[in-house]
Structures are given as structure tokens and as C-alpha cells.
Structure 1
Amino acid sequence: MNMTLTEKSALLDRTLSQLGSVLVAYSGGTDSAYLAWSAHRVLGDNMLAVIADSASLPRAELSAAVDFTKTHKIPTYILHTEELENADYSRNDSRRCFHCKDELFSRMEKERKRLAYRHIAYGMNMDDKGEFRPGQMAAEQHRAVAPLFTAQLRKSEIRTLARAAELSIAEKPASACLASRIEYGRAVTKENLSQVELAEEILHELGFSQVRVRHHGDLARIEIDRADLPRALSMKVLDQITPAIKELGFQYVTLDAQGYRSGSMNDILSASDILSAIR
């Protein structure tokens, strides 16, 4: 049966109410922020937004995430995770995301027991289910619940609800951990994560909101939202981008003609890579 957005919103509230108390895996993105905000509205102080902080989280994203929960008086806890110490994670194969989320949910489970919360929740929605996301397997193994998915909400609907609630995250560009910018097979290190973070800061300062800097060793491959590509292709702007990013340690800087697209690093994965990652 097809539900209206009003019905889906009501189902989300009922789902959260039935949880009783919950730790919310909170990244600061629109989905997890709306989930945290909704959980606080329904459960009050019987919820806690948990931010996983490591070198793979940009400082600007951490600051914005904390600002949002402060604004809405949402209880928040910064959990320092150590996925970079795990060789299975840092070697950066197709299961990297699984190992990252396994670290997160393992640590959250310890906090859940220590603080006597009943559940762990995360921001998976209907659109996420069809994508290549090994982290979902880690969530399932740790029995994390997905209230947005239970309520059959899609990404666009979550933005609509956030807009109706006048939440600042309604129009927030999609984001992902910095490690997703490192080409598969290249070790994830604090150094190359920092290179990506600083390179993307340069692009943001130049007025580009939706960007990715993909790390291919000596080469930085820049993805910019297609609507902004004409401006990026001007010689004036290219002459600002290139030397600034080369100063970070890249020898070559290239602008991807296809523009920004989520998960472009996954394009090189074979069917066997994907199957091994989700087993």
C-alpha cells in the first residue's frame, strides 16, 4: 500500500516511540540529522546522538554536526573511533566501509550497555537499500535498527520533512567520509585523508558547494557539481585551483568532465568485488 508523506511521518514517530530509548549513529548529514531530531522530539532525553570522530571526518563536518544538535538541544556524545588502527580497514579494499561501521557499531554497543539504552539506530532509508553499501551488513550484524527505512522514507521525502520543520540540514549537500575519496587499493592514512580534506576546503572557499577530490596517489581528480562546471572551467578559476591543490602534495590535478557523482570510486569494482564485500 502506498502511503502519503504524512502517514510515513506518523509511522516514523510510532517506530521511534516503540524503541523506548535509542542511541542514534549521527554523522551530521540530512538523513541522520533528521533521525536524531525526530528521535529527540519523540523520546526527549531517552535518546543520544553519537558522532563517530576520527581522521576520516572533516573538521568542518564535525563542527556543523555539533552546531546542529546544540541549536536543537539534542543530547550528543562524540565517540572517538579507531578504524585507522585496523589493517583490514586501512588497506582499503571493497570491504572498507564494513570495517568502519563494524568499529562504530561495536563501540556504540558498548556505550548502549553502559548507558542502559535499549537500541542503536542509524539513518538508512529506502534509497540506500539498493546501493552498494557494505556498512549496512555491519549494521545488521549489530542489530541496529533503521527507523527511516521502516517508515518507507526516501531521501527526497526526508528533505521535504526537514524543510517543513525549518531545519538547516534540509538543503545540506550529500557528504561521505573522507576515506571514500581514496582509490581502492591505496592505503588509507591520516596524511592522505588530510590532503583530501584540505583540497576540498580550497574548493569550498572558491564557492563550490558540492565537490569531491578523489585521491589517486600523485593525481587529484576533482568532481564538481555539473551546474558549476562552466565556472570551474574558466582559466581564471583553474589557475586558482591547480597551484593551491598541488601545494598539498599532488603532482597532477585534473577536473572530471562528468562532474560530481556519488560513489564514483565504486565504478571500478568488479561483480566479484561487490559480492565479496557483502558476504
Structure 2
Amino acid sequence: MSRDKYETLLADLRSMERVLVAFSGGVDSVFLLHAANQALPGKVFAVTLSAPYTPQAEVKEAIALARDMNVRHELVNVSFPEELRNNPAERCYLCKRELFLQLKSIAEAEGIDHILDGTNMDDLDDHRPGRKALLELGIRSPLQDAGLTKQEIRALSKEEALPTWNKPNGTCLLTRIPHDTDVDEPELRRIEEGELFLKSIGFSSVRLRSHGELARIEVTEEVIPDLVAPHVRRQIDAHLKRLGYRHVTLDMAGYRMGSLNEQTV
């Protein structure tokens, strides 16, 4: 079934002739870029937009992946939009609109009619305000159009020998900070450094939610016992306090995407 969807995806891509792929280096965008390169060899342009709230480790990985895939690739650094400085609830819509407007300008300058993003079928069931901006701007989502789910994309990525088939989901660093909170670059780098440390000691699916002087760690439930082991707990506490946190806590509900969107009842 998923292989049939993949053939549908390739046929759709071939009909576009030339494409610009919004390339983050995540599971979906890597799979989309791979498919586009198969369908339209030599006619694919990948662009990675790096904002201050984009994890820099992800940017470096995107550059390396595009190089390994032998695809034309450009990295574009973008400034911090002032309308996002206080991390508003509608940040995803505002951010997507700003970033994809820049991609539209790049595509127009290149004479490319189709801009593609990696939205998949599962995203229809999630809280994705950024999707509204993509629809308004006429951005195409071929994975979704082919009916591909995240699980199918991971399975096909493994079949196609893509190194990202089991990569944890990623999001921008603004998702680590409560809404209506002023954000500056040092705080974003502190969060990223904290998460990189947690990943370096074995916690691949992790979020460091930052509440001022308090760091709230989310990991998947099955590894909570590993994190609270005395020697690991002390190591994490010391490292995050060196980054400026006064209190380091573990979220007992475990890791879940969008936890800062949860409503208290």
C-alpha cells in the first residue's frame, strides 16, 4: 500500500517539472527531497531557512544531508521577526507565513512555479496553525496529497536507505517557551545547549521546556527510570544549573509534542 502511494507521489512530482523544496533536514523533508530528486533529477532546489529559533544542529545536519543527496542546496539566514518576539499563541502561523514568503521570492527569482513542504497526513489530526499560512500562499504538500502517513514515510525512508528513517521529530526552539513570554537569542541558545547535552548522554527524544529559572525536562516514559538514576540525575542537575537554571525538574507525564499548548482545567 505505501509503495503504491510512493509511486503516486513520484508521478505527481514529475508533473511539476521544477520544484523548490523547503528543507529542514527532518524525516519528512528528507524523504520529500529524495523523492523529488528521483522524479526530477537535476531540477530540484532545496532551501533551508535558518532563523534564530532554528536548532543549529539541525541546520548543520540539513547541509550535510543535501550534500550527500547531491542536490542543489542553499542556506538562507533570516532575522528574528519582531512579531514573534513575545512568542504569541499564533506564532506558527506568523512564522510559516514569513518564512514561506521568503521562499516564494526565491522561487520567483529562479523561475520555479512549485514550492513544496513536507506536511503529511498525520498533520491533519494535529494542531498545526502553520498549515493555514501554507494554504494561503499556495504551497504544495505532495506527501499529504499522496496520502502518506508518518509511519509510512518512516518505513519507505528505511526501504530507500535514508539515514533519517528513525530520526526523532523536531520542532523550533520557540516551542520550549510558554506563550506570551519575551524571547531573546541567549535564551534560545541556552535551551539548545541543554537539549544537546541531554541527547549526548542518551536521551534522543527529549524536550527542555524553559520557564525562566526553571528547566522542565520531558523524556519518553520508558526512559524516565534512566534519567532519575542518581548519577545521571546529578549530572543533569549540575549541567543545567551551569547554564543558569536555578531549578531542574522532570515532567512526570513524559514527553509529548505541544505540551505548552495544553490547557489547565
Does the TM-score normalized on the shorter chain lie above 0.5?
yes
1:263 aligns with 2:254: no
1:195 aligns with 2:187: no
1:150 aligns with 2:135: no
User: Contact between 2:3 and 2:156, CA under 8 Å: does it hold in 1?
Assistant: no
Q: What percent of counterpart residues are identical?
A: 34
Q: How many pairs align?
A: 265
Q: 1:81 aligns with which of 75, 78, 82?
A: 78
Number of the residue aligned with 1:32 = 29
1:72 aligns with 2:69: yes
Task: Write the mapping of 1:1-279 to structure 2, written as runs, cut at 5 A.
Answer: 4-82=1-79, 84=80, 86-268=81-263
Paired with 2:38 and 2:74, the residues of 1 have a C-alpha distance of 17
* Letter paired with 1:138: A
Query: What is the CA-CA distance between 1:269 and the residue it aligns to?
Result: 8.2
User: Contact between 1:90 and 1:96, CA under 8 Å: does it hold in 2?
Assistant: no
SS where residue 168 of structure 1 aligns? Answer: coil
User: Contact between 1:121 and 1:145, CA under 8 Å: does it hold in 2?
Assistant: yes
Instruction: List per-residue Cα deviations over 1:29-54 (Å, max 9, x = no partner).
Output: 10011001111111112111111112
Number of the residue aligned with 1:275 = none
* Letter paired with 1:133: R
SS where residue 19 of structure 1 aligns? Answer: coil
Query: What is the CA-CA distance between 1:258 and the residue it aligns to?
Result: 1.4
User: Contact between 1:37 and 1:74, CA under 8 Å: does it hold in 2?
Assistant: no
SS where residue 169 of structure 1 aligns? Answer: coil
Instruction: List per-residue Cα deviations over 1:232-262 (Å, max 9, x = no partner).
Output: 0111111000111011111111011111111
Paired with 1:180 and 1:79, the residues of 2 have a C-alpha distance of 22
Greater than 2 Å deviation, 4+ residue runs: none
Paired with 1:40 and 1:189, the residues of 2 have a C-alpha distance of 37
User: Contact between 2:89 and 2:179, CA under 8 Å: does it hold in 1?
Assistant: yes
Question: CA-atom RMSD, angstroms?
Answer: 1.3
Paired with 2:209 and 2:217, the residues of 1 have a C-alpha distance of 6
TM-score, length of structure 1 as denominator length = 0.92
Query: What is the CA-CA distance between 1:189 and the residue it aligns to?
Result: 1.6
Paired with 2:72 and 2:165, the residues of 1 have a C-alpha distance of 20
Query: What is the CA-CA distance between 1:128 and the residue it aligns to?
Result: 0.3
Paired with 1:6 and 1:175, the residues of 2 have a C-alpha distance of 25
- Structure 1 gaps of 5+ residues are 271-279
Instruction: List per-residue Cα deviations over 1:45-72 (Å, max 9, x = no partner).
Output: 2111111112212221111111111111
More helix per residue? 1
Paired with 1:252 and 1:68, the residues of 2 have a C-alpha distance of 37
Paired with 1:92 and 1:138, the residues of 2 have a C-alpha distance of 17
Instruction: List per-residue Cα deviations over 1:54-95 (Å, max 9, x = no partner).
Output: 22122211111111111111211111122x2x2321221211
SS where residue 256 of structure 2 aligns? Answer: coil
